[in-house]
Each structure stands twice: as C-alpha cells, then as structure tokens.
Chains A and B, each alone.
Chain A
Amino acid sequence: MDRPSTPASPSGPSAARRRLSKRTKGLLPAGDRLFDVVILLLASMILVITVLAGWVLLRGGGLALRTYGLGFLTGTTWDPVHQEFGALPFIVGTLATSFLALLLAVPLAVGAALFVSEYAPRIVAEPVSYLIELLAAIPSVVYGFWGIFVLAPVVRSIQIAIFLDPRLREIGFLSSTPTGLGLFTAVLILSVMIIPFTASVARDVLRLVPQDQREAAYALGATRWEVMRHAVLPYARAGILGGVLLSLGRALGETMAVTMVIGNRTAVVHSLFGQTATMASVIANEFTEANTPAHLSSLILVGLVLFLITILVNLVARVLIHRLTPEGIT
C-alpha cells in the first residue's frame, strides 16, 4: 500500500522516512502496516454497519414487502387483528408533523440566528447562542414528559374553546375530541426540538458572509434590515436551506416526544388536532406488543422506509451545507 502523506507535508518527511526505513531493513514499516490494517478495519466498520443495517431491515421487512408489495405505502388500513397493514396513516402523520413543525420553526430559527450573528452585542450573543444549543441537548423523553403535563393541558383548553364556539366547531379541520394529545401538540414539541438545528447552521453560515457584502450595502444608504434582506440573507441562502433539511431529517425520525403526545391512533389524520401516529411513533408504540410475524415485519418495513428517507434527506443537506454559497447571488 502506498503510504499516504500527512496533511501539512506532502512529500518531505515520508520520503525521508522511506530512506530511513530502508536502512532499518523494513523494521518500522511492519509496525506501520499493522497499524494501517487495524485503523482501516475500524474505519470500514462504518461501511459494514450501514450495509448491515439496510440488509437487516430489508430482511426483517421482507415478509410484509412480499405480502403487500408497494401497496404497503398507499394502504390506509392498519389492522393487526385482521392482519391488514398499510403505512399511509403514518407516512401522512410523519409528513404533516414534520412540515408543520418546519413552518413554525424555520422563521423563528432564522430570526434567532440573525439576532445572534447580526443584531446582538457579543456579550448577549454568546450566552443566547449557547442556550439555543442547550435546547438540542434536552432528551426527547424529557420533552415528551413536559408535553404531557404542561403543553397538553394548554392545547386541551384551546380545543375546548373551539368546541364551545358554535362557528369554529363546524370547521372539520379544527374538530377533535379535546384530549390535548394529537397532531398539533406533536407539532409544537417538534418545532421546539428542531429549532436549534436550523438556528446553529444558519448562524454559522451568516458568519461566513463576507463583511464587504454588508459594508457595500450600508454604503448605498441601506438600513440594517435592507442589508439583511438584500445583501446577507441571499448570500447565506443555500447554507440555511441545508440547515432546514438537517432539521427535517431530525423531525422525520423524532420518536419519543412525538409518541408521548400524538395520541397513537392508526388512522389518516384529517384535523389539525386529530390523534394520529408517525412512522417512528408507531414502531415505538407497537413493536413490543406485535405478536404476529406479519405485524412485526410490517413495523420493520416502516423502519426501512424511514431509514431510506432520512439518509437521503441528510445527504442532500450535507451537500448543500458543504457547498455553502456560490460567489454570485442569483
């Protein structure tokens, strides 16, 4: 194997070392070769794990895939008693919770990132940015616990208010049993949980916007907001979008908090407050109770779909963030 060079010195030391090792009759390269093999083995475990994960899920979901085919993704009935499994309620639930959460979270996260990187003085920006990161450190179950005991009662009183209003209660989109648990509560919790991901990427990207870009706009007499809108935000657009996709990936796979507040009903949701389930929450909720091969296999197949979607979303996000921003603003 060709010995790779160090990042800082492409040729010098390794050439010198090759000469040296020739003099010591291959003694040193033996240790090197062993080390190389060990490190390469450990690194290739990443490859093994990814392939193994995909294969294991495909094998586990094989029974469901053979029985229901692609109709699994469009079937609306999930009935363990009659052995009929269609994942559409959970796909709809996952997409609905994730996109509604993004709708709430992205403007707030970008606003908070602008505050931290452009508006606040350093002495305020540092702690605020640290506190936003702490939001991501709180475990999902703890958000779920808080959701059950604090957020759900608040949502329940909103539901009751809607129920008591004779006009609002006729709107199907708002109708619900006032339990406090359902899609809307899950969306609120999810948006809190994904804000730090969009916000921290947006903050980093905003900091990369060249100072000239701002100064040029100020020189034209722009107000601060005009500088943000026309000179800073367009420049950071691609990177911010990457951060949004990263949050989307999180939202799609978020499990515990959602499971605890979404109501866990296996039907396609029709109302903003309706009880439903997501792909992740149905696995969490039903897996230990599943006692037929078809049920287990269907749950694993849901996991495989989730696996593929989140990998795709994350890779696109990484590409966007790595490319950051092109020179020209279009």
Chain B
Amino acid sequence: MTVRSLAKHGRSNRLRRRFADAFATGVIVLAAAIVLTPLVLVLAYLIGRGVGSLDLAFFTQLPAPAGEPGGGVAHAIVGTLELLVIASVIGLTIGIGTGVFVAEYPAHPLVPTVRLLSDALIGIPAIVMGLVAYALIVVPFHHFNGLSGGVSLGLIMIPYVVRATDEVMRLVPGTVREAGFALGLPRWRVIVSIVIPSAASGIITGAMLAMARVAGEAAPLLFTAFGNQYWNFDPLKPIAALPLVIYTYSISPYDSWHRIASASSLVLVVFVLLTTALTRFVFARRAR
C-alpha cells in the first residue's frame, strides 16, 4: 500500500510534491507555535497583572471587605497547606502501598485489576470525587468541612502516586533485590530497606507532582471544604483554599478582588510550575 502510493506520487509533478512538503513543514511549525501561544499569553497576563498586587499584606492578612483595597489571602494559603496535609496522608499511604504492590508482587492475581482500576481512577473528573467525599463525610457531619475537602484531594492523588511509585520501583534492577535475598533478608526487608530507598527520590518527586496537581483543584472543594473568610485550623469546619479564592473573587464584580484573584493565580502557577520543573529535573537525571 505504502509502496504503491509512493510510486503514484513519484509519477506526479515533482514541483508539486516539493511544494506540498514545504507547505506541510510550515503548517507543522505553525501548529507548534499556536500550541505554545496560550501558555505565553496566560503567563504574561498573570505576571503583568499579578506582580503589582503581591505585597506583604497579600501573604499575611485576611481579605479586606468587598470593594475595599488591600487585604490578603493568608488564610487561604494556610488552608491549602492544611488540605494538602490531609490529602497526602490518604493519597501517599494508599498510593505508595498500591504502587509497591503492583511493582513488587507482579505474579499476584489481583495486580491486573488494581492496575486497571488505578488507570480508571485517573480519568474520573475531580468534581465527581468531590461528590463522593461530600456523600461520605459532609452528609454525616451535616455541614461543610475541611476534612472532606482533604479527602477528595487525597482520592484524586492516589492513582498518580501509584503510577509514579510503580514506574520508579521497576527501575530498580532485579540484581539489587537478589543481593538482599543473598544476605538472607526476608522479602519485606528487601523492599523496605533496599528497593524503596533506591527509588526514594523518584517516589518523592512523584508525590510532589501529585500534590502540585491537586493544589490547584477547586472543583471538588466547592461543596466540601467550601471556603472561609477567616482563619480556621479545625478540619471539621469549612476551610479556605487558594483555588476557591481565585474562583469566587474572579466571578465577583469588585476590581480589588480581581486583583487578589490575579495575584493568587500567579502564586498558584509559580508553585505548580516550580514543582513540575523540579520533577522533570530529577527524572531527567535518573534516566541518564
């Protein structure tokens, strides 16, 4: 088929073929340029609008009343960190445990099912995980609370952590495990003291990447953590989060709130991009 069509092309006008080739090259370069344009536009807009609003008050104060200038989102930055702690407890325990299972027990009959479900979980929209956390934790407590928000983020983290753990643990050579067995170590000691430490940097970066991913999630928090205008350290009460601030402030009519939203977006994007860059750096080093 390929040969025949090439032969047919060979018979046709050489100039036209060369033109088609140049045209295709142009289109492909243009496509790459178009794909990168939004990234440049978004970052430029965030920097242009957000940097001016980043001051000490932004990081240390509570929001100013609607329409008044000044104020900050200190409560939301702390709230996001609280949510990430809760999310990590769930996401890292189950995620790393499952990753170890998938990578180190390849002959176990449950491995294909677990891997399939983990792949399926990655695709479930974050907002649906929010509904699940709502039904499981908000409904019994009768009010919105930070715990449910953290749990929803934790559920979203799990499959990413599983995949990262699985991938890096399989990079550890089998001979390293055999060396452990040759010393008479039981399987669990080989995994805990040899395989996991060798894969640690990869697991940690995978975990950080998963945390960066859920740090920017607002959808599942809308009806779980709910948001809060004040300080709150009690996980059984509503907690503020940076993505929620961006959402509610950018759909508000106040210009001062729009500025807070732009500064919050910038902070969130810088956090996420730094984590991603770090991950890439570590993985690139491992690959060599």
List CB contacts (< 8 Å) of B139-187 with chain A: 155, 158-159, 162, 170, 173-175, 177-178, 181-182, 184, 186-187
A226-B131 contact in complex given A116-B32, A217-B2, C-beta closer than 8 Å: no
The answer to whether the Cβ of A74 comes within 8 Å of any Cβ in the partner chain is no
Out of B20, B105, B155, B218, which one reaches A141, CB within 8 Å? B218
- CB contact under 8 A between A13 and B29, given known A148-B250, A313-B123: no
- Chain B residue at smallest Cβ distance from A290: B223
Contact check, B125 vs A108: say whether CB atoms are below 8 A apart. no
From B174, which residue of chain A is reached at the shortest CB distance? A8
Judging by beta carbons under 8 Å apart, are B106 and A7 in contact?
A: yes
A56 adjacent to B136 (CB under 8 Å)? yes
A158 touches B (CB below 8 Å): no
Cβ contact within 8 Å between A141 and B46: no
A309 CB, min distance to chain B CBs, angstroms = 10
**Given A46-B98, A314-B122; A132-B128 close (CB under 8 Å):** no
Supposing A46-B94, A115-B28, A311-B124 touch, asked if A140 and B155 sit within 8 A by C-beta, the answer is no
Whether A220 and B3, one on each chain, are in contact in the complex, defined by CB atoms closer than 8 angstroms, is yes
B205 within 8 A of A: no
Whether, in the assembled complex, A277 has its beta carbon less than 8 Å from a beta carbon of chain B, the answer is no
Tell me how far the C-beta of B254 lies from the nearest C-beta in chain A, rounded to whole angstroms: 13
Q: Does residue B287 face the partner (Cβ distance < 8 Å to A)?
A: no
Q: Taking A32-B188, A46-B98, A142-B265 as contacts, is the C-beta distance between A314 and B119 under 8 angstroms?
A: yes
B222 close to A3 (CB less than 8 A)? no
Q: How far is the CB of A317 from chain B (nearest CB, A)?
A: 8
Q: Does B58 contact A (CB under 8 A)?
A: no
A219-246, CB under 8 A of B: which get 1 and which 0?
Answer: 0111111101011001000000000001
Contact with B along A96-136 (1 / 0, CB 8 A): 00000000000111111011100110000000101111110
Q: Say yes or no: A306 contacts B128, CB within 8 Å.
A: yes
Chain A proximity mask over B89-114: 1 for CB below 8 Å, otherwise 0: 00001101110111011111010011
A144 within 8 A of B: yes
Interchain CB contact under 8 A, A255 and B188: no
Which residues on the A side are within 8 Å of B216 (C-beta)?
Answer: 138-142
Q: Is A16 an interface residue (CB 8 A)?
A: yes
Stretch in B61-69, B70-78, B267-275 with 4+ CB within 8 Å of A: B267-275
Assembled-state Cα–Cα distance A137/B208 (Å): 13
| Interface residues as binary, B43-69 with A (CB distance below 8 Å gives 1, 0 otherwise) | 001100100000000000000000000
- Of A9, A139, A313, most buried by chain B (CB within 10 Å of CB) is A139
* Interface SS, B side: helix
A143 at the interface (CB under 8 A from B): yes
Q: Which partner residue on chain A sits nearest B96 by CB separation?
A: A42
Query: In the bound complex, do residue B117 and residue A17 qualify as a contact, i.e. CB atoms below 8 Å apart?
Result: no
Given contacts A56-B132, A137-B272, A288-B223, contact A130 B280 (CB under 8 A): yes
Q: For residue A137, which residues in chain B have a CB less than 8 angstroms away from its CB?
A: 212-213, 272-273, 276
Which residue of B is nearest A229, CB measured? B24
B236 within 8 Å of A by Cβ? no
Stretch at the interface among A63-71, A76-84, A165-173, A279-287: A279-287
Instruction: Look across to chain B and name the residue whose beta carbon is closest to the beta carbon of A246.
Output: B123
What interface size band does chain B fall in?
Answer: 35 or more
The listed residue (A46, A130, A246) touching B162 by CB distance below 8 A is: A46
User: Which residue of chain A is the closest to B154 with respect to CB atoms?
Assistant: A49
CA distance A178 to B3 in the complex (A): 53
Within 8 Å by CB of B100, from A3, A39, A44, lies A39
A20 at the interface (CB under 8 A from B): yes
Give per-residue flags for A1-38: 1 if the beta carbon is below 8 A from chain B beta carbons, else 0.
Answer: 00111111100111011001100000011011011101
Q: A40 at interface (Cβ–Cβ under 8 A)?
A: yes
From B6, B120, B218, A217 is in contact (CB under 8 Å) with: B6
Chain B residue numbers with a CB within 8 Å of A116 are: 32
A43-B110, A253-B127, A311-B124 as given contacts; A141 in contact with B186, CB under 8 Å: no
Interface flag for A45 (CB, 8 Å): yes
Q: What chain B residues lie within 8 Å of A115 (beta carbons)? A: 28-29, 31-32
A114, A199, A231: residue with the most chain B Cβ atoms closer than 10 Å? A114
Query: Is A249 at the interface (CB under 8 A from chain B)?
Result: yes
**Chain B residues with CB under 8 A of A161:** none
B18 within 8 A of A: yes
- Determine the residue in chain A with the shortest Cβ distance to B1: A329
Please, how many angstroms separate the alpha-carbon atoms of A317 and B258 in the complex? 39
Partner of B186, one of A21, A112, A133, A252: A21
Q: A6-B177, A57-B132 are in contact. Are A150 and B125 (CB under 8 A)?
A: no
Interface pairs (8), CB distance under 8 Å: A9-B178, A60-B135, A139-B272, A145-B262, A146-B42, A149-B258, A225-B25, A288-B226
7 extra A-B contacts, CB within 8 A, seeds A43-B114, A137-B273, A283-B131? A17-B187, A108-B31, A130-B280, A138-B269, A144-B246, A230-B5, A284-B219
Residues of A bordering B, CB below 8 Å = 3-9, 12-14, 16-17, 20-21, 28-29, 31-32, 34-36, 38-47, 49-50, 52-53, 56-57, 59-60, 107-112, 114-116, 119-120, 128, 130-135, 137-146, 148-150, 192, 195, 199, 217, 220-226, 228, 230-231, 234, 246, 249-250, 252-256, 260, 280, 283-284, 287-288, 300, 303, 306-307, 310-311, 313-315, 317-318, 329
